[in-house]
Amino acid sequence: MKKNHFSLWRKARLLSVAAVGALLLSSCAQDGFDDDERWSSSVSGITLVSPTADNISISASADGSQTVIVWDVVKGAGGYECTVMDVTDAENPAVVDGIQDSLIDRCQIAVFREADHNYTFSIKAMGNKELNNTEAESATLVAFNSFTAALATIPEGSDITAFIAENPMPDEAKDKEMAYDLVAGGQYTMSGSVDFGNKRVQLRTTDQNNPATIKMTGNASISTATGMSIKNVNFDCSASTDPFIAYSETPDESTMGVISGSQNYYDIQQSLLIENCKITGVNNYFIYDNKVKYCVGTAIIRNCVVQLTGTECSGIIRFETGFINDLTVDKSTFYGVDGADSKYFVQYSNSARCDRGGYSSNSITYSNSTFYNVAYSGQWGNYSGFAGRNTSFWNMTNCIFVNCGSNQITRRFLAGRQGTANRNFANNTYMYDGAFESTDGVVSGYDDSATAIESDPMFADPTNGDFTVGGSEQLSKRTGDPRWLPAN
């Protein structure tokens, strides 16, 4: 099985784009437009040929924000006509950074790069009148993408627990994220806990419009002791009794105190990212530290729908001995079925604060998200170490809360401190059993923005998980998870 599924990883190792890019960049510096040979070439009176795909290097910049494209010099050319397109949505391709039929007078360009997108690059050698050289008859088209390199594709129908036990991540994944790909639309099971340990793993379906589905059973849970990404995957957790994400009970000892020093946290400086996932039937914690003193630098939940079914949960995101330094929930929906409840939505150890974890500030952000029947009789947050500190930053914007947090969303979000510094509220709805936490747009001492909305968002069918917005004020200000709003 390993032999059949490791080809992509092996190719990635053999054809390191970073190394090739560095080589071609060096070649470009020697043979590029700065060289007189570029413009006074002995090559004349011919029809030029565009750079071949083999002579084009495409790699990510060091920070991952740009794609660097480098090609071999075509001697005697008068420049290159280049086009870069984002073809992730094949029916609506988009020009990247204005590079469309653009005349480039050098042998490299750098353009914006977004993770998990598909692109094409077209290049054509242009003529040179002085040398009587005619432009190439055709352009070279190269397809590329910004997906993390895949170790293996897990066959449809597999038990992921068994597959990963047989096909573990190599040691290289300690230093760079590597992916397990799932088949688009595929059906999978996970029969037990999967612990990736200190290997940086991405579990994904590359087609975000056709996610694979994993049915978790027994004690199935996903564990890690480092950064991890889960993208474009649906999970049915209804038959599992364990947390959805549970940090490893056996941490990587080499991470202890790396930035937290004598505070002795297990410092996870790589992000936890859960993106474009639908997760149903969560009977236990959504994210749990397993009573291990982890400090997770960043956790992002983006473009997800999470259905909560636990009736006596201590917390949805619970860290008994550690904390998440920067937590973001963006463009997502959390909802509890009838009877679901929890003591907290977010709960950290009371000793947790940024300076003890080796950071200069900490934050909690909720943006453009919808929450329904979450911690109905409980508290929204409990993290007294963050409370009242100038190094804590609080953001709650364009969200809808209905029947959540005992009608004390803003108070518990700010850890009970009135007049807290660095707080940012805008256009939120706080509705509980038909009443509103705010009056005239204000929750005195907490949300003083005067922007709180006091009208029913009129969800279409919340009992069955349909939170399509019908309330005119929420529609006007486009609040809540965008998936429940009409297209612009």
pLDDT one-digit tens code per residue, 429-446 = 999 999 999 999 999 999
pLDDT at position 319 over 50: yes
- State how far the alpha carbon of 245 is from the alpha carbons of 165, 177, 287, 312, in Å: 18, 18, 5, 18
Return the number of other C-beta atoms located less than 10 Å from residue 180's C-beta: 21
* Predicted pLDDT at 312: 83
239-257 mean pLDDT:
97
Identify the band that residue 32 occupies on the pLDDT scale cut at 50, 70 and 90: very low
- Yes or no: say if 479 and 399 are a contact pair by the CB < 8 Å rule: yes
* Predicted pLDDT at 41: 65
Distance, in Å, from the CA atom of 374 to the CA atom of 407, rounded to the nearest integer, reads 11
293-301 mean pLDDT:
98
The tens digit of pLDDT for each residue in 390-403 reads 999 999 999 999 99
pLDDT at position 257 over 60: yes
423-428 mean pLDDT:
99
* Predicted pLDDT at 433: 98
- Between residues 37 and 381, the one the model is more confident about: 381
pLDDT at position 1 over 50: no
170-190 mean pLDDT:
95
Q: What is the second-level CATH architecture of the domain 2-145?
A: Sandwich (2.60)
- State how far the alpha carbon of 135 is from the alpha carbons of 36, 57, 70, 128, 229, in Å: 20, 22, 20, 8, 45
6-23 mean pLDDT:
37
**Residue 370 three-state SS:** strand
334-359 mean pLDDT:
97
pLDDT at position 423 over 90: yes
Mean pLDDT for all residues in the chain: 92
Least reliable range by pLDDT among 31-45, 238-252, 410-424: 31-45
Distance, in Å, from the CA atom of 277 to the CA atom of 233, rounded to the nearest integer, reads 5
DSSP string, 76-118: T---EEEEEEE-SSTTS-EESTT-SSEEESSSEEEEE--TT-E
pLDDT at position 35 over 50: no
* Predicted pLDDT at 63: 84
pLDDT at position 9 over 90: no
Identify the band that residue 3 occupies on the pLDDT scale cut at 50, 70 and 90: very low
pLDDT at position 31 over 60: no
* Predicted pLDDT at 5: 38
The model's pTM is 0.84
pLDDT at position 375 over 90: yes
pLDDT at position 34 over 90: no
Q: Which residue do the tokens 């924000």 mark?
A: 65
Per-domain boundaries in the chain: 2-145, 243-484
365-380 mean pLDDT:
98
- Yes or no: say if 294 and 445 are a contact pair by the CB < 8 Å rule: no
pLDDT at position 303 over 70: yes
pLDDT at position 2 over 50: no
Q: Which of 39, 40, 20, 38 is nearest to 30 (CA)?
A: 38
* Predicted pLDDT at 24: 36
455-484 mean pLDDT:
98
Identify the band that residue 228 occupies on the pLDDT scale cut at 50, 70 and 90: very high
The tens digit of pLDDT for each residue in 118-130 reads 999 999 999 999 9
Distance, in Å, from the CA atom of 235 to the CA atom of 216, rounded to the nearest integer, reads 7
* Predicted pLDDT at 64: 85
**Residue 30 three-state SS:** helix
pLDDT at position 94 over 50: yes
Identify the band that residue 149 occupies on the pLDDT scale cut at 50, 70 and 90: confident
pLDDT at position 4 over 70: no
Distance, in Å, from the CA atom of 374 to the CA atom of 338, rounded to the nearest integer, reads 10
Q: In what order do the strands lie in the sheet with 66-71?
A: 56-60, 66-71, 108-112
Percent of the chain at pLDDT > 90 equals 87
